[in-house]
Amino acid sequence: MSIIEGLSHIVLIASSIEKYENSVQFYSLFGYQTISHFVNSKVPTNEVQFLPQEEKLLHLFGKPPTKDITLKIVLATNTNEKEPFPEEKDWRLEQASLVSVTNDIVAVESILKSINIRYQKYTYPDVNESDLLATPPPADFVHTEVYTHDPLNNLITFTNKPNPFSKSIYPIKPKSPVQQDIDISTQPKVERKRIGVLTSGGDSPGMNAAVRAIVRVAISRGCDAYAIFEGYEGLVNGGDMIKKFGWADVRGYLAIGGTLIGTARCASFRERKGRLSAAYNLIKNGIDALIVCGGDGSLTGADVLRSEWPGLLEDLIKEGRITIEEATRFKHLTVVGLVGSIDNDMSSTDITIGAVTSLHRICEAIDSISSTALSHSRAFVIEVMGRHCGWLALMAAVSTGADFVFIPERPPISDDWESEMCETLKKHRDLGKRMTIVIVAEGAIDKNLDPIRPEYIKKLLTDHGLDTRVTTLGHTQRGGKPCSFDRNLATIQGVEAVQAVLRATPDTPSPMIGIRENKITCEPLMKAVELTRQVAEAIAQKDFRRAMDLRDPEFSEDYQAYIDLAVVNEKLSLRENQCLRLGIIHIGAPAGGMNSATRAAVRYALNHGHIPVAIYNGFDGLLQDNLRELSWIDVDGWAGKGGSELGTNKINISELDVGMIAYQLQKHRINSLLLIGGFEAYTSLIELNRSRNQYPAFCIPMVCLPATISNNVPGTDFSLGSDTSLNAIVDSCDSIKQSASASRRRVFVVEVQGGHCGYLAVLAGLAVGATSAYIPEEGVSLKKLQADLNHLTRRFGEDKKGTSSGRLFLRNECVSNTYTTDVIASIFKSESRGLYDSRTSILGHIQQGGTPSPTDRIRATRLAVKCIKFLEQYALPPTSEKIVYPSIYTNVKESAAVIGIEGAQVIFTPVIDLLSETDMKNRKSTKTWWIHLKELVEILSKWGKITFFKKI
């Protein structure tokens, strides 16, 4: 006798309010009705897991021969979430949580499509007609099953077979109600959100990457994406200038500079009549959200359109151009702004899309000019863009080691700045410099607000005997393909822009997507515009201190660092007994920025009365007495040099005689030590710190400045050289992808360096649009390879013959000993079924880069200056008492530290405190802030579900 009389209900647990509400809405679409709602108001905020906070009972009233069924959907935060089954799998082989019978599979598909839910459909046409109950059997009697996931990632099935043992099949009838009371006609219509994207104002590298991300993320989120060509001009004119974009329409956008959807100045949009036409075109295309990528003027125009929207609707109704129903449906316009500007002049964001690429172009030009200037012992006055913002000029000066710079935010203090400039340049020449570089921002002024022109500076230098030329870089600064930083910045901000659209309400102000402290931000657009305008106002009022403060936090620091390095200080304030003999040593593999950091350290030390001592060829060179004191002119030109001028090797201090190292430091009176390098430098600092009790010579302040392309040193988000390496990888992958596209239907497996850290593979994969990145943090398996094979088969099968572009897979060098680069390529080729070919490319040491990127040069300068200040803090005595070496200066743990970037902050972490977050076996940090970007790499190439990210 059975003691079970039937089914009571099925319990589904949601881990968040969003998933809870989405689940209730999802099942309501299929006819489930809420019959009970309970809220547990007594749950404390720190309650244990799984305690219900809220629950709803949903009931489905079945039709014979099926039975009623009840679902209990429970909200219990902190519960573990299920993972959806990969779409490459056959979901029929998995266990479903719920199976529903219906006689209208078409209606089920319609609902799933309307809410953009992925599903798999299977039909079984080979049914024996004699087994069918209906006689004669209708032509549409086909056994059909649909598999999908609910918002809680439960696998659910819809079938037109009443039960597994039944021989009858419900016919597929397009307009009949779904069995179990699923009546489509009574369900609310789900409108797909339509998002328009336009680029406006001056073009900037990275705009195309933003458009690509917006289009693909919008599609992934169940929205329609529309490209508006020629900026506001296209919005006003409408017609063919507003086009719906699909997934493939933005293929290849990442590597192209400028904006492929165009930009134009639009005088008509500044008038209400033009904005009325813009509103009409948006409504007629069903667009209710607008993402604008441009400068402050472009973003202001978008917000004006939104603020006037109700009035514009009224005018359109009066003119009979739209109906009341249309006005009701589009009564709100959502506007989101992205800042695309090479000037980096927008407040509330640390950097704008395109600014870093423009800096790349400027530095490339100045590096080239420098060789001519050096050859002829000339002076060059170089004018750069930036309007009223001096960011480009200042960062170019820091990156190239320019002799003088003029920016609008900090004009020369003296009334006789001409004489001061010429005196500074004369000192440089007297020290042995053969060339002179002066950089002028196009908005440069003196303290009386009078413009400073390049031709005037040329005249001054010529009068002082310098053979001088003027170069205005012009629009070359806007051109060229975007660097890796701008591609990734634009991509991640594009993702956040779509998210901002979806969460916007009529009451929220228009947001601007920015970045502060390496985190993506979403702040009121007009507040940012107002702060930006305050900079110009502060300059006009000669309040230059406020103008500097309104720029990003690093602006003032970088300016002061530049002054400390460019000006020769002849008035040293330190007493002789406070002089540091500062040892500088490079350890590990070469990385972009090592020389820039050394140059900054040497010049800052000299300007503060210290003696910088170069230790050549690492600790091995120290043991061989390979040391030399460096002068100001010795490091001239090092800002843009790649590799390591001091020489470096991967010999770890543990492999050498530590006692002899202590002896050599004492012999050469080294009383502070700057270690520049990767994981070997980090572990060397650990060993030196451990040996302090045994060797007093190590009781000196020591600091490690991480410099490695792998970005694997604990204590910092970014290591010197990692940005240079990313750009080298991106350049190579662009060429490889071009080859793959030209060959059609070709897949490249590209091996990148990084040791056991997947940073390079992930960030480069995001920048080049790789299909996937295989990294040690996740590993690679047959299951993963099979999923990627299925994806390639599907995508190449969908592409029109002769139109397929190439595809890239990035593989970290240490991801697997079994699945090597050649093995993966061979698997792809053998399983391709003739749809595509596969090749390999191992980039090797080209990834170490040649000329360091401007980003690495700026970071190197800023961090090196702070390192010297750190060494001064722990080495200089508090009194005037003369120190006799090798007295113990310090052995506190804080005096042996690693400098790092955390957000926008520069921090010093005692090396002993970093051991807890160090994976010594795999030589990397256990903190991988970038790992969440791995998912985004595949989402933007494979059309998957989307998660939104806050940090880059």
The predicted-structure confidence for 652-696, as pLDDT tens digits, reads as follows 787 889 999 999 999 999 999 999 999 999 999 999 999 999 999
H or E segment to which residue 149 belongs: strand 143-149
Domain-located, residue 279? yes
What domain range is 362 assigned to? 355-478
Query: How does 331-343 read in b/e, with b if 16+ C-beta sit within 10 Å?
Result: eebbbbbbbbbbb
pLDDT in tens, 754-799: 999 999 999 999 999 999 999 999 999 998 999 899 888 878 877 7
Q: Is the pLDDT of residue 539 over 80?
A: yes
**Residue 914 belongs to a domain:** yes
C-alpha distances in Å from residue 770, one per residue of 255, 733, 765, 809, 841 = 12, 9, 5, 6, 14
Of 490, 499, 472, 492, give the one whose Cα is nearest residue 355: 490
Spatial contact of 476 and 422, defined as CB atoms under 8 Å apart: no
Q: Which of 55-69, 243-257, 367-381, 531-545 is the least confident region?
A: 55-69
Residue 143 has pLDDT above 70, yes or no: yes
The verdict on residue 573 lying in a domain is: yes
Examine the domain organization and report whether 259 and 309 are in the same domain. yes
**Distance (Å, whole) CA 864 – CA 676:** 9
Looking at the structure, tell me whether residues 22 and 150 fall in a common domain. Answer: yes
- pLDDT for 304: 93
- Inform me whether the pLDDT recorded for 507 exceeds 50: yes
Residues 336 and 199 in one domain: yes
| Cα(71)–Cα(9) distance, integer angstroms | 5
Of 150-164, 376-390, 873-887, the one with minimum mean pLDDT is: 873-887
pLDDT for residue 638 is more than 90: yes
Among 892, 897, 895, smallest CA distance to 915 is for: 897
Residue 495, both tokens: 């993702």
**Is 98 in the same domain as 20?**
yes
904 is a domain residue: yes
Query: 416-454, pLDDT tens digit by residue?
Result: 999 999 999 999 999 999 999 999 999 999 999 999 999
Find out whether 746 is annotated in a ligand binding site. Answer: yes
Residue 812 sits in the same domain as residue 870: no
- The CATH number covering residue 650 comes to 3.40.50.450
Active-site residues: which are they? 343
Same domain, 288 and 408: no
> Is 710 marked within a binding site?
yes
Mean pLDDT of 887-891: 71
Q: What is the pLDDT of residues 790-823, one digit of tens each?
A: 888 878 877 766 566 788 999 999 999 999 999 9
The C-alpha atoms of residue 560 and residue 647 are separated, in whole angstroms, by 29
416 with 494, same domain: the answer is no
753 in a labelled binding site: yes
Alpha-carbon gap, residue 201 to 293, rounded angstroms: 9
- C-alpha to C-alpha distance for 280 and 235, rounded to whole angstroms: 9
Same domain membership, residue 604 and residue 489: no
Q: Is residue 173 part of a domain?
A: no
Residue with more model confidence, 836 or 458:
458
**715 labelled ligand-binding:** no
Q: Is 669 labeled as ligand-binding?
A: no
Helix or strand holding residue 746 (H, E): strand 746-752
Residue 166 lies inside a defined structural domain of this protein:
no
- The pLDDT-based confidence of 24 (bands split at 50, 70, 90) is confident
847 is an annotated ligand-binding site residue? yes
- Band (pLDDT 50/70/90 cuts) for residue 917 is very high
Express each pLDDT in 732-748 by its tens digit: 999 998 887 776 688 99
Q: What is the pLDDT of residues 354-413, one digit of tens each?
A: 999 999 999 999 999 999 999 999 999 999 998 889 999 999 999 999 999 999 999 998
Q: How many CB atoms lie within 10 A of CB 775?
A: 27
33 labeled binding residue: no
CA distance 255 to 314: 43
Same domain flag for 867 and 895: yes
**Amino acid 571: pLDDT:** 59
Q: Is residue 525 located within the same domain as residue 409?
A: no
End-of-domain residue from the set 413, 446, 478: 478
Asked whether residue 715 is domain-assigned, the answer is no
Does a structural domain hold residue 171? no
Q: At what angle do helices 933-942 and 207-220 cross, to 10 degrees?
A: 80
Question: What's the mean pLDDT when you consider all of the chain?
Answer: 86
Q: Which pTM value belongs to this model?
A: 0.80
Whether 746 and 644 map to the same domain: the answer is no
Quick one: 40 and 69 in the same domain?
yes
Q: What total of structural domains would you count in the chain?
A: 5
pLDDT in tens, 583-627: 999 999 999 999 999 999 999 999 998 999 999 999 999 999 999
What span, in angstroms and rounded, lies between the C-alpha atoms of 534 and 741? 48
Domain of 379: which CATH number? 3.40.50.460
Confidence of residue 135 (pLDDT cuts 50, 70, 90): very low
DSSP-based three-state secondary structure for 586: strand
**Strand 772-774 to strand 98-101: parallel, antiparallel, or no bridges (unpaired)?**
unpaired
490 vs 53, more confident = 490
